Homo-oligomer: A and B are copies of this chain.
């Protein structure tokens, strides 16, 4: 008699992304230009690499404090205060995690039970809905419209609130939309959260990659600190994606339970990665600024190229690595278009539907390959678009 291990429904319910299908298509071909991934291509600053090498001379790789090295948490608290205006106790209100991904998971898992609802202005970072599913909770995507410049419609959000709504999850600046919301919008969202007793999860991982001033940090607004979990990390600004160094700041009561869950999930963050994060805190500005400038310049090139494609419209990005063009003109679904772009012109993009159902009719393009590849990719997109003129 054969035995099959049963998986509980909430975990069985986590979907695989279409991303896999498109990547499989791309892998079968030579010379595909990758305009899809959010996996940037530059190396880490030399300052950080040197510190890592020094740590390897010692050569020990012992477990660290479960919640991140105390000196790292202190450094992050100073950074949050200096750069984001957020005052955080490094012992009680801060946790170092395996990237923002782990932080999002442990916070959502600790706060969301079966039947709970999370409001998500959408298209949105897919993990918000995957995590909600994994918790037995429901993601409630509330559409952001191109006509509004992808700013939230407060009335729509208000109408989506039910007695089961527990949280509001946001990425500011936005992945996948590339937009940066104004202070007024952030204040309106905070007001909504206070009015309906919601917890706010706000991922600020792209806050260094903006053309203008960085957006206001929601946890600094009146009445918000006690209900806001602020996520950030070293992945993007220091090209440390693979080192998985994220963190979350939040109110001490729930953070205590979240830290216990974090221990169960990871035991401790990676030791060498924490060495890199400590180095990043001291990294000379002249090694970081060129990275940020490079991606912003690429974003300009990408945006200008995309809006010049026949039939394509696009909201101007305020920062991040992404633009989110409207491709409805081509008369097919996002997934079908993404697959055809791989097959017919060798360009890898992500269908907007990877970011929720409201992404239908859009693609996400990124700046994570170099300028010449971006230009080459744009040329190929033009070649495709011109068939539909």
Contacts and interface: CB of A to CB of B under 8 A. Distances in A.
A254 B240 CA distance: 32
Contacts of A59: 43-44, 46, 49
Interface string A240-281: 111110000011011001101101111111111100100000
Contacts of A388: none
A6 interface: yes
Contacts of A43: 58-61
A3 B271 contact: no
A202 interface: no
B242 A7 contact: no
Contacts of A52: 52, 56, 272
Contact of A270 (B11, B62, B111, B270): B270
Contact of A61 (B60, B131, B199, B240): B240
Contacts of A46: 59
User: What number of copies of this chain does the assembly contain?
Assistant: 2
B8 A110 contact: yes
Nearest to A137: B8
A95 interface: no
A90 to B, nearest CB: 17
A313 interface: no
Interface string A38-62: 0111111010010011001011111
A145 interface: no
Given A40-B62, A60-B41, A226 B272 contact: no
A131 B264 contact: yes
A5 B265 contact: no
Nearest to A17: B263
A191 to B, nearest CB: 14
B251 A5 contact: yes
Contact of A39 (B6, B62, B99, B261): B62
12 contacts: A3-B223, A7-B253, A8-B113, A12-B257, A61-B239, A98-B98, A130-B263, A134-B261, A241-B271, A270-B270, A270-B272, A270-B273
Interface of A: 2-9, 11-12, 14-16, 39-44, 46, 49, 52-53, 56, 58-64, 98-99, 101-102, 105, 109-113, 127, 130-131, 134, 194, 197, 199, 223, 226-227, 239-244, 250-251, 253-254, 257-258, 260-261, 263-273, 276
Given A14-B257, A101-B266, 7 more contacts: A4-B251, A5-B199, A46-B59, A98-B266, A99-B266, A130-B260, A134-B264
